[in-house]
Amino acid sequence: MSRSVATVEFSVNVSMLYAEAPFLERFACAAAAGFGAVEFWWPREEDPGEVAFAVRDAGLRTVVLNFDAGDMAAGDRGLLSDPDRQATFRENVPVALDLAAALDCRRLNALVGVRLAEHPPEDQLALAVENVRFAADRAARQGADVLIEAVNTFENGPYLIARTADAADFIRRVDRPNVRLQYDAYHMQRMEGDLAANLRRHIADIAHVQIADSPDRHEPGTGELNFRYLLGVLGELGYDGYIGLEYKPRADTERGLEWLPREQRSGRIDPAAALPATREAVA
């Protein structure tokens, strides 16, 4: 009797890849490279309507987009836990949901923010819970999920949720069925390691997976992670979502994509059979 095979599809994060091109041109670049799905951070400098047109014009699906997380280049990592910026976040929620609806995107990532010296961390987390509930209740009206991500503190400052178990606990506090976990293998390798065990422990909460190699956040095959093994674990666990490519290409984006055969860049594949071009690293 043959086993049921979970399949995955890769999505390219155009907020990090194709940085050689203006943002609105990156969607066409991704399509030309053979991808069928994209994800991206909140486009603070671009009109949402122009973004929606660029995605549709390239014939792509958007699988995840971020709510406004503030000025990422200046160190912001989310607005949800800052009392002074709560109104800004809540004003962005309907705008982001309108963009998601225009793109038929059903998942939006909400970064919770960093610790602020003038506020106790528990107060900040309580505020973030309130704001995620606000976003989740509105997202539910259009069948969308809100994702919560643990982020490493080495590059992102004192981020409030830095480990998988903490993100899972936060989701429990929010207590909304459409709030789930975005699992970033790069961030979690930096913070806690033990990736396969944590995938097994938290797979029921995981709605989206992102990858980059560690420790430099470049493309798979440039660091210490064994992605063929990790994708096999995801297949074993029945994960059938997307694998987001959220990394900094070591050189230009096209040269950095040599690790992923073109025939695997679009459409569903068996994760256990993926990445023949990736070197066998030690997990």
pLDDT in tens, 245-266: 999 999 999 999 999 999 999 9
Q: Say which DSSP state 262 is in.
A: G
- Helix H or strand E encompassing 237: none
- Cα 175 to Cα 44, 78, 130, 132, 150: the distances in Å are 29, 20, 11, 10, 18
**Phi, psi angle pair for 269, to nearest 5°:** -135, 160
Higher local confidence (pLDDT), 164 or 275: 164
Q: Computed from CA positions of residues 255, 227, 283, 112, in that sequence, does the dihedral angle turn out positive or negative?
A: positive
User: Taking the CB of residue 10, how many other CB atoms lie within 10 A of it?
Assistant: 21
The amino acid that residue 170 corresponds to is: F
pLDDT band at 281 (very low <50, low <70, confident <90, very high): very low
**Each residue's pLDDT tens digit, 86-106:** 999 999 999 999 999 999 999
Helices (H), the chain: 26-32, 48-57, 86-102, 121-140, 153-156, 164-174, 185-191, 195-202, 227-236, 253-256
Pairing of the two strands 179-184 and 242-245: unpaired
pLDDT at 282: 31
pLDDT tens per residue, range 160-188: 999 999 999 999 999 999 999 999 999 99
Percent of the chain with pLDDT over 90: 93
The structural domains of the chain, ordered by start, are: 9-273 (3.20.20.150)
Structure tokens belonging to residue 46: 């671009």
**pTM beyond 0.85, yes or no:** yes
**Closest to 209 measured CA to CA, from 233, 174, 177:** 233
Using the Cα atoms of residue 103, residue 109, residue 114 and residue 115 in order, give the sign of their dihedral: positive
Q: What is the pLDDT of residues 104-149, one digit of tens each?
A: 999 999 999 999 999 999 999 999 999 999 999 999 999 999 999 9
Structure tokens given for 62: 């958007």
pLDDT at res. 274: 79
CA angle 247, 150, 240 (to 5 degrees): 70
Residue 142 tokens, joined: 């259009």
Confirm if 132 and 171 have CB atoms less than 8 A apart. no
Any idea which residues carry the catalytic annotation? 149, 246
As a residue count, the chain comes to: 283
Q: What amino acid occupies position 148?
A: I
